[in-house]
Amino acid sequence: MNNLAKFTIGIFFTLGMAWLAFVVGARSQFGDLVPTSEVLDDDGLVPEDAELFPVANSGMAKQGAEEYAALGCVTCHTQQVRRVEAGFDVERGWGKRPSAPRDYVLQEHVLLGNSRIGPDLANVGLRNYSDEWLHQHLFEPQSIFPSSLCPPSPFLYQQIDEPVITDIKIVSNEVTKETRYVRPTVRANRLVAYLQALKQDYELPEVSFVETEDVSVEEEDVVSTDVSTVSVSAPKWLQDQIDTGKEIYMKASPGGGMCFACHQQNGEGLAGQFPPLAGSDWVLGSKERLIKISMYGLMGEIEVNGVKYNNVMAPPGIPPGSLTDDQIANVLTYIRNDWGNSASAVSAEEVATVRASLKGRAPMQMFTSAELTTPIQ
C-alpha cells in the first residue's frame, strides 16, 4: 500500500472517529434535538398520533418570553434542573427530572441563565402559584418575602382607587395591613402567562422522572423557604444542616465561624479585599479543597470568578481552626446552598476523611492556591 492510500485511509479514519465522538456519542448521552413523545412504539419510534414534547410557546406566553428577557430576569434566575449528582434541584421540587437539551429545541431564545440569585424557574408553572400571587410578587416581592432581593416592577401595573374583581390586592405590610389595588398591564399579563407555561412535566427517552425518598417526602417533612433564596422547598435533613450552618456562619463567639465579617451576610464579600462566596467556583467546586481551606485557611493570590484577590484567610472558628467536623460540614453545606448557590451537601464523614489525610500538617499552616490543585469535582 503506497503512502497516498495510507494517508487517505488515515484521513477518513480520523473524520469517522470524530463523527462518532461528537455526533453519535453526544446523541447517545444527551438525546436527539427534535421533539419526541412520552410513548414510543416497539421500534423506539414516535407514533404518528402521539402528543409531542416539548411544546412551543404561543400567544401571550411567547410574548412573555420577550418580556422576561427584556426585564433581565435571566440575570438572577436559571431555567435548568441540574442532574442529581450536581445538586438537590429535584429534591427541592424544582422539577421532576433533570433538564435535557431537547427541552429547549423549540425556544427562539434559550434563557438558561448562569446565576441563581433567585430560584430556578424551569418548572415554576408546576408550583401551583396563582396568577394573583405571581402578579403580587412582580409588583412588590418584599410584600410576600421581606428579605427578597428581587427588584419590584411597579411600572408593569396601574394603581387603582376603585378596584374591580380582576384587580390585584397588594398587602404591603403584614403589621399595618396597608392595602393597595393594582391593575396589570399587558406586559405584566404576558410575563405571568410565560411563567405559568414553564413546565418540563414530560419524560424523555434520555431522561426520566427521578423517584427518590427525598422527592416523595411527606408534607410535614418539607420545610418551605423564602423563594428569594436558593430553595423553594428542601428535604428536612438538608434544611436542618443549612440552618445550622447559617448560624455558625453568622456567629461571632466560640462555636461560630464569624464568616460574615469578611464574606458579608449576603455572600458577596468586599470588592478588592474578600472574595464572594455567591456563585464562586471555589465554593461550588471541589469539596475536598473547600474542606482543606476551612481547616487550615488560605493565603496568597487566588482568582475567583475572574477577579484576583491577594489576602490571608484564617480558618473559620473562634479561636481560628476550632470548628469540629460537624460544624465544618454544616457551614460548608450552607454556603454551597444559599445566595443562589446549589451544590451537594458536605458530610462530617467527608470532613473527617480529609482531616485524616492531613494528619502530619502543622496547625495553622495555611494552604496556598498552588497547593490546592485538586480538580473541580
Per-residue pLDDT of the chain (377 residues; tens, 9 = 90+): 677 777 788 888 888 888 776 666 655 655 677 888 777 777 777 777 788 888 888 889 999 999 999 998 998 899 999 887 666 788 777 888 999 999 998 988 899 988 788 889 999 999 888 899 999 999 998 888 877 788 899 999 999 988 888 888 887 766 666 788 999 999 999 999 999 999 999 988 888 888 755 433 333 233 333 333 333 456 778 888 999 999 999 887 788 888 888 898 888 888 888 899 998 889 988 899 999 999 999 988 888 888 888 888 888 988 888 899 999 999 999 999 988 888 889 999 999 999 999 998 988 899 988 888 644 34
Domain annotation covers residue 151: yes
Q: Which among 333, 112, 111, 122 is positioned nearest to 234, based on CA atoms?
A: 333
Whether residue 227 sits in one domain with residue 166: no
CA-CA distance, 244 to 327, in Å (whole number)? Answer: 8
Whether residue 260 sits in one domain with residue 185: no
Strands (E), the chain: 157-160, 168-173, 178-184, 222-224, 233-235, 298-304, 307-313, 367-368
Domain termination residue (choose one: 144, 166, 197): 197
For the stretch 259-271, what's the b/e string if a residue is b when 16 or more beta carbons lie within 10 angstroms of its beta carbon? bbebbbeebebee
Domain termination residue (choose one: 197, 232, 256): 197
- What local confidence, expressed as pLDDT, does residue 173 receive? 62
Q: SS3 of 173, please?
A: strand
Domain annotation covers residue 188: yes
Whether residue 174 sits in one domain with residue 236: no
Q: Are strands 298-304 and 367-368 parallel, antiparallel or unpaired?
A: parallel
- What local confidence, expressed as pLDDT, does residue 38 receive? 72
C-alpha cell at 237: 435533613
Task: Report whether 232 contacts 321 (CB < 8 A).
Answer: no
Whether residue 237 sits in one domain with residue 168: no
Task: Report whether 105 contacts 54 (CB < 8 A).
Answer: yes
CA-CA distance, 287 to 52, in Å (whole number)? Answer: 41
C-alpha cell at 258: 464569624
Whether residue 186 sits in one domain with residue 83: yes
Domain annotation covers residue 261: yes
The helix or strand, by DSSP H or E, that contains position 333, with its residue range, turns out to be helix 325-335
Whether residue 236 sits in one domain with residue 138: no
Whether residue 188 sits in one domain with residue 304: no
C-alpha cell at 252: 461571632
Whether residue 270 sits in one domain with residue 185: no
Domain annotation covers residue 111: yes
Task: Report whether 120 contacts 81 (CB < 8 A).
Answer: yes
Give the DSSP letter string of 214-269: TTT--GGGEEE--TTSS-SEEEHHHHHHHHHHHHHHH--STT---THHHH-TTS--
Domain annotation covers residue 64: yes
Domain annotation covers residue 215: no
C-alpha cell at 122: 424551569
- What local confidence, expressed as pLDDT, does residue 226 receive? 36
Give the sheet arrangement for strand 157-160, strand by strand: 157-160, 178-184, 168-173
Q: The domain containing residue 295 runs over which residues?
A: 220-368
Q: Which amino acid is at 120?
A: D
Whether residue 253 sits in one domain with residue 187: no
- What local confidence, expressed as pLDDT, does residue 108 receive? 84
Q: What is the DSSP letter of 34?
A: S
Give start and end residues of each alpha helix (H) in the chain. 3-19, 25-30, 59-70, 131-139, 186-197, 236-250, 260-263, 281-284, 287-296, 325-335, 348-357
Task: Report whether 277 contacts 313 (CB < 8 A).
Answer: no
Cell 455567591 identifies what position? Answer: 278
CATH code, 345: 1.10.760.10
Whether residue 362 sits in one domain with residue 231: yes
Q: What are phi and psi of 2, to 5 degrees?
A: -75, 170
Give me the number of domains the chain comprises.
Answer: 2
Q: Which amino acid is at 143?
A: S
Whether residue 111 sits in one domain with residue 63: yes
Domain annotation covers residue 331: yes
Domain annotation covers residue 21: no
Domain termination residue (choose one: 139, 162, 197): 197
The helix or strand, by DSSP H or E, that contains position 133, with its residue range, turns out to be helix 131-139
Q: Which amino acid is at 267?
A: G
Between helix 236-250 and helix 325-335 the angle, nearest 10°, is 100
Quick: pLDDT tens for 23-67: 666 556 556 778 887 777 777 777 777 888 888 888 899 999 999
Whether residue 262 sits in one domain with residue 135: no
Q: Which amino acid is at 137?
A: H
